[in-house]
Amino acid sequence: EVKDEGEVKDEGEVKDEGEPKTPAVQRLDSAELDVLREGGLIVSFFNSSATQLTYQGLAELHRHMRPKQVAVFFRNNHFSTIFRGEGGEGAAGGGLFLLVSDLGYADVREIVWESLDAVDGDIVYYDEDFRVVPLKMFAGREVTLTPTLTPTLNPRP
């Protein structure tokens, strides 16, 4: 626990009879204080970018990928195929798409691509011709998102 600048409360050790010792206060040097501050920044970054994609990163993908380009995309410890649409008014527009590779969709021919236009998991699904696939067509079957933001279709009962 960080107290005033440069002081940390040490929880102490446990005595043989199970009671903690009186907490001690120790001084930290400037390097140790920097580590504590940086650690807080890192935790804050991870909390704000839990999907391992930021809007800046999304903008960089748009900037560096050419229309009709296919590439390998690594996110959330998972490799995906990423595709950039042609641009203009075509079905794929100039958007970014990930090939849906979740085994939960192995038997769902209608869903082929998912949009990659937000970092918060707001996903739109597309067929092989980049036409939007409304999830209401799966009435009676529950669709959920896994932590990797790849859709998982729960099997029918």
pLDDT in tens, 79-132: 999 999 987 655 567 899 999 988 877 778 889 999 998 877 778 889 999 999
- pLDDT-above-70 percentage for the chain: 62
Per-residue burial over 136-151, b if 16 or more Cβ lie within 10 Å, else e, is: eebeeeeeeeeebbbb
Average pLDDT over residues 26-45: 79
CB of 80 closer than 8 Å to CB of 73: yes
Q: Residue 76 contacts by C-beta under 8 Å, 6 or more apart in sequence?
A: 51, 52, 147, 148, 149
pLDDT in tens, 7-16: 545 555 545 5
The pLDDT value recorded for residue 117 is: 85
CA gap 131, 93 in Å, rounded: 11
CB of 71 closer than 8 Å to CB of 60: no
